[in-house]
Amino acid sequence: MKNPINHPIHEALSARQSPYAFDPERKVSTDDLNSLFEAARWTMSSYNAQPWRYIVGVRGSDDGVWKQLFDVLLEENQVWAKNAPVLALGLVEHNFEHNGEPNKAAVHDLGAASASLTFEATVRGIAVHQMIGIDPEKACEMFGLNESIEPFTGLAIGYVDASDKTDTERVRKSSKDFILHGHTDVDWSKTDKS
Determine the residue type at 38: E
Q: Is the pLDDT of residue 186 over 80?
A: no
pTM summary value: 0.86
Model confidence over 107-132: pLDDT tens digits? 999 999 999 999 999 999 999 999 99
Q: Is residue 4 part of a domain?
A: no
Q: Domain of 22: which CATH number?
A: 3.40.109.10
What is the residue range of 22's domain?
A: 11-162+169-190
| pLDDT number for residue 116 | 97
Query: Helix (H, G, I), strand (E, B), or coil: what is residue 150?
Result: strand
Q: Is residue 153 part of a domain?
A: yes
Nearest residue to 164 (alpha-carbon basis) of 59, 25, 20: 20
Q: State the total domains in the chain.
A: 1
Residue bearing the bigger pLDDT, 17 or 133: 133
> What's the chain's Rg over C-alpha atoms?
19
Cβ burial of 16 (10 Å; 0-12, 13-18, 19+) is middle
